[in-house]
Each structure stands twice: as structure tokens, then as C-alpha cells.
Chain A
Amino acid sequence: MLEALVEFLSGIGTAWANHLLSWLSYVIGWLPETIAEPFQYQFMLRALLTSLVVGGVCGILSCYVVLKRWALLGDAISHAVLPGVAIAYLLGAPMLVGAFISGSVTAVGIGFIQRNTRIKEDSAMGLMFTAMFALGVVIISRIATSTHLMHILFGNVLGVTMATLVTTMYIGAFALGVVLLCYKQFLVYTFDPNHASAIGMSTGMIHYGLMLLLTLTIVTSLETVGVILVVAMLIIPGATASLLTHRLPRMMAISVLVGIASTTLGLYFSFRLDVASGGMMVLVAFVIFVIAGLASPVGPIRQQLRRRARADLNAD
């Protein structure tokens, strides 16, 4: 029964993915030869589509991470999924399930330490996620080669399989759907949780819903940017967007654009320069952040322009 469902879903997903891939290659066909050249390979096309999805989903979630000040939590979850990934690999189970379980164990563990000891939240988080990460490293060092460890830690977007691409697309669609349907709940909860509670929203459900989306996003990004750098993709797009606008919908749009731009440009440069894709993506994101910071309405460039305009006015 369950197997039939999985079969069915992966069938549809693969059809869709093939559709999108051929459409992508058609669009790329219009680009100049130098840019289009790497994407004549099928694996590069798959990597490109994965990067697009991951960049978009990270972009949306990073708005909530930045607004809710969850940067440390994101870092904690991303490290904590490692043992789950390793064990799932060992058992031949889907990575997603393992990652999700070990992420949840960590969240519960953090809560338990906080409630039953005098240790504060940040120490509890640091303690749990490093312990889980260590466990993951130990398990992986036992079962896999160091290349494998490197791929999990830093991603290997060029090795993305069709199955992974399909899973990524499903998770991306799910995250997008949830954010669209629960936009109001997430808005009120991140802005003023007291009001959310007063008007009858279930703050606990919203909290864990957001955490679930965060975990799913991290899991989808594992192959692209890897465990260690994924938190950058959950901070930089949102942080960049928050420099440029005072409206949440616009912030989300900018954040998605920044996410997509960094993953795709990162992919391109990593191929051209033959360097690690995850690292390149984060570097591109950081460069975009710096440019946005310099050019933002309160940044130094515009201030200089304003000062000069005022000086001209005075001179007249």
C-alpha cells in the first residue's frame, strides 16, 4: 500500500522533474555560449534545478529565521541531523527520515535540559548539537570513506540523483504551500506571540510547525551546501532582504531572489573554477549581502550621494 503510494508519487515527481529539466535546457539554450556551456551535461542541469529549489526554500525560511532570531537554533538543527543521516545511510532508509528523527531528538533534549537543570537555553543548544554532531562524525567515520564524510559535511551538488531531485522538489512544494496557507499565523506568531495566543491561534502548533519546516529545509539543503554551511543560507538571504525593505512580502521576495542567485551563481562559479559548490554558494551570498549593505537606503553609498546633493544645493 505504502510502497504503491511512494511509487506513484515518485512517478509523478520524475515526470515533472523531466519536464522542468527540458524546459530549463530550452531557456539556457538562449543564453550566450560561455554561460550555457556547463549546462549541456545532464548532471549540471539536475544540479541547477536542485539549486533553484533549495535557494528558493532557504530564502523563504530565512526570513523567519532572521525575524525570530533563530540563527543559533538553525545551526543547532543542521548539525544535529548528522547522526540521523548516517544511520539512515547504514540502514538504507531515506535520509530525510533519519535526519528528521535526530533533529527532533535534539529539540526534545534541549527542552529537557532547560527544564530540569539550571543550564540556560544557549548552553543547552550548544551542548546538544555538538554532542549529536560528534555522534554523527563517529558513526560516519566507521561506515564510510572520508570523501563520503566530506560530501555530507560540505555538500556535493554535482552528484545529485534524480531521486534526490524529486524529493527536494516535493519538500520545496510542501514548504511553499505551508508558508502560503499559514502566512497569517506565522506573521502574528513571529511579530507578537501574545496576540497570536489572544486571538485563539495555537502558538505551540505554530512554533513546532515552523521548526518542522526549518528541519525539512535543512535536510533538502544537505546535498547542495552541506551540514556545516546550510545555516548561512538560512541567514544571509533574509538578512540581506531586511536591509532593503520594511514589508514582509517584499522581504520574502527579495530573500528568495538572493537565495536563488547565490545557489545558481555559486554552482556556475564552482564548476568554472573547479572549487567546492557549497562554499562558493555561501561566498556569493555573502558578496550580495555586502553589496546590499553598501547600497541600502541607509548604507554609505546613498548617504554619500545625499550629502553631495545637499552640498550642491547649498552651493547654488
Chain B
Amino acid sequence: MTNPEHERWVVEADGVAADYSGLIALADVDLRLPAARLTAIIGPNGAGKSTLLKLLTGMKKPLRGSLRVCGMDIHTARRANAVAYVPQETDIDWDYPISVRDVVLTGRYGRSRQSGGWRAWLPPRFIGASHHDKAHAAMAAVQVDDLADRPIGALSGGQKKRVFMARSIAQEADLMLLDEPLAGVDRRSERIIIDYLKEFVRCGKSVLMVTHDLPTVRDCADWVVLVNRAIAGVGDPEEMLAAEALEKGYHRIEHRGER
């Protein structure tokens, strides 16, 4: 793949590997992803898709290799609030005593620290009206503002995804990572999510979305990464969703699983 001068990379990985107490989950990741695209990450269960996202949030440290996002090293990107993250449903404790409004407001915590001043040390309610306004606007953008006072346990699947999207929107990041935002989501929620992501990309921002929903990938994605314990392929949707590429990407895991 060539890189014209005007194109920026949003992810640059060289020889990255990640493990869970010795078991390699991802190996030999060499990856260049162009900015301002909606990139879909596909691959079988246990392929390391979530692990790839966790490397980009800095939650997981790479075993080896070098990793940059938005042209910065991970630490700088984190301090700059460059990367926002929408978790997979199973990663959240839905009994946690917190309301929708407070979840979305956590998207502003990093920004309130960046803007400095003594207010950053105060409890969430007092961090300033501008942060509260931005959180409210983010809720309105994905139509969850009328749910603001609900505990997060009392939401439907689609509403849950949109609440976490609102948190990411409130963060005003350049790169949005979404881990299976379309799983268990009805038509209406899917429409709202996809429409927002397309708009986000049109503004020059980037999206990295893990999904198992191949028809949506065909319709909406600009770029596709096929993951299977390593990068099994990168390309445009037509190329990557062709039968043989998919076969290759989804097959290796069974082969490895036998051992």
C-alpha cells in the first residue's frame, strides 16, 4: 500500500505482540491504518480484536514492538485525550451504581484535567458548566438525553451502546475505538450509531470498529482489518470480504486450536 503525502496514519504498529500471562494473544502486528476512515476489525472469537483495542488505549502494554496512535506514542496520546473507547458489553459491570448522565460525564474527566485549574480536583458535579453542557450535547447526539437519570443497569442493549458512545463523543477524541457496538442492537439504534460514525469520519476523525456483522461492514466500512491472532489481512471491504480472504482469516484459528 502506498502512502501519498497528504495521508496521515492513525495507527502505526511495528512488530507488536501481546500476551496474557505468557499466552500469546497477538503476534507480529505490523499495521498502518489511514486516518479519516471508518475501519472495521473482523475476525473469529478469541482472535485478539479486543486485545488490539486495549493496546491502543494503553490498558495493555505490548510485550514487544512499537506502537503509535494519531502520530503520538501511546502515553502522549492518552494525556491528549486522543483516543476514546466504547467497551464490549461483557467488559462492564451493569450493576455498578451509576447513572447514564454520570457515565457520559466521565468522558469529560480527562478534558477537565487538561484545562487545568483547581476545579479539576472537585467532585464531578462541580467540574464546570461547560463540561456538563458538552456531556449533554453528546447524549443528545445519540438520543439518550431522555435516559439521563436512569441507572445503567436499566437500559436495553441498544441504549447501553449509545450511552457509551455518548461518553466517547463527550471526550472529543480524534480516534474512536468501538468493541462490537452493533451486537444485540435493533435497527433504530444501529441507524443512529452508524449515522453518527459516518458523520464523525466526514469531519476528518477516525473510527476503528470491531464487529461480527459482515453485511454492515460491506455497506459502511471504508477499510477492513482481518485479525486472527495476527493481522491476517488489510484492505478495502470488497477485497477483504471476498470468499478466499475470509476463508484464510477465519480458518487459521481452527488449525491452531487443534494443537
Interface, chain A (partner B; CB < 8 A): 67, 114-115, 180-181, 183-184, 187-188, 190-195, 197-201, 203, 242, 245-248, 250-251
What CA separation (Å) do A246 and B149 show in the bound complex? 10
- Specify which chain B residues have a CB less than 8 angstroms from the CB of A201 in the assembled complex: 109-110
- Specify which chain A residues have a CB less than 8 angstroms from the CB of B93 in the assembled complex: 67, 191
Q: Which of B52-103 contact A (CB under 8 A)?
A: 54, 57-59, 78-81, 83-85, 87, 91-93, 95-99, 102-103
Q: Say yes or no: is B39 at the interface (Cβ < 8 Å to chain A).
A: no
What CA separation (Å) do A251 and B110 show in the bound complex? 25
Distance in angstroms from A224 CB to nearest chain B CB is 27
**What are 24 of the A-B contact pairs (CB < 8 Å)?**
A114-B21, A187-B98, A187-B124, A190-B96, A191-B92, A191-B93, A191-B96, A191-B106, A192-B87, A192-B91, A193-B59, A194-B57, A195-B106, A197-B59, A198-B83, A198-B177, A199-B81, A199-B109, A242-B95, A246-B97, A247-B151, A248-B97, A248-B98, A250-B97
Q: Say yes or no: is B113 at the interface (Cβ < 8 Å to chain A).
A: yes
**Residue from A115, A193, A203 within 8 A of B21 (CB atoms):** A115
Distance in angstroms from B113 CB to nearest chain A CB is 7
Q: Do residues A242 and B97 form an inter-chain contact, with CB atoms below 8 A?
A: yes
Distance in angstroms from B74 CB to nearest chain A CB is 9
What CA separation (Å) do A304 and B80 show in the bound complex? 53
Q: Do residues A197 and B57 form an inter-chain contact, with CB atoms below 8 A?
A: yes
Instruction: Tell me the nearest residue of chain A to B58, going by C-beta.
Output: A197
Distance in angstroms from B159 CB to nearest chain A CB is 16
**Residue from B84, B99, B121, B151 within 8 A of A198 (CB atoms):** B84
Q: Do residues B96 and A199 form an inter-chain contact, with CB atoms below 8 A?
A: no
Q: Say yes or no: is B153 at the interface (Cβ < 8 Å to chain A).
A: yes
- Apart from A115-B21, A184-B124, 20 more pairs, CB < 8 Å: A67-B97, A183-B123, A188-B109, A191-B103, A194-B54, A194-B87, A194-B91, A195-B87, A195-B167, A197-B57, A198-B57, A198-B177, A199-B107, A199-B110, A199-B171, A200-B80, A200-B81, A246-B151, A247-B99, A248-B102
What CA separation (Å) do A183 and B109 show in the bound complex? 11
Instruction: Tell me the nearest residue of chain A to B113, going by C-beta.
Output: A200
Interface SS, A side: helix
Distance in angstroms from A238 CB to nearest chain B CB is 10
Q: Do residues B85 and A195 form an inter-chain contact, with CB atoms below 8 A?
A: yes
* B interface size (C-beta, 8 A): 36
Q: Which of A193, A200, A248, A251 has the most CB of B within 10 A?
A: A200
Q: Do residues A199 and B54 form an inter-chain contact, with CB atoms below 8 A?
A: no
Distance in angstroms from A27 CB to nearest chain B CB is 29
- 10 tightest A-B CB contacts, nearest first: A199-B110, A246-B151, A198-B57, A200-B78, A200-B79, A197-B59, A198-B85, A197-B58, A194-B59, A246-B97
Instruction: Tell me the nearest residue of chain A to B103, going by C-beta.
Output: A191
Distance in angstroms from A185 CB to nearest chain B CB is 8
What CA separation (Å) do A194 and B93 show in the bound complex? 13
- Specify which chain B residues have a CB less than 8 angstroms from the CB of A195 in the assembled complex: 57, 85, 87, 106-107, 167
- Specify which chain A residues have a CB less than 8 angstroms from the CB of B124 in the assembled complex: 183-184, 187
Q: Which of A115, A180, A246, A251 has the most CB of B within 10 A?
A: A246
What CA separation (Å) do A40 and B54 show in the bound complex? 59
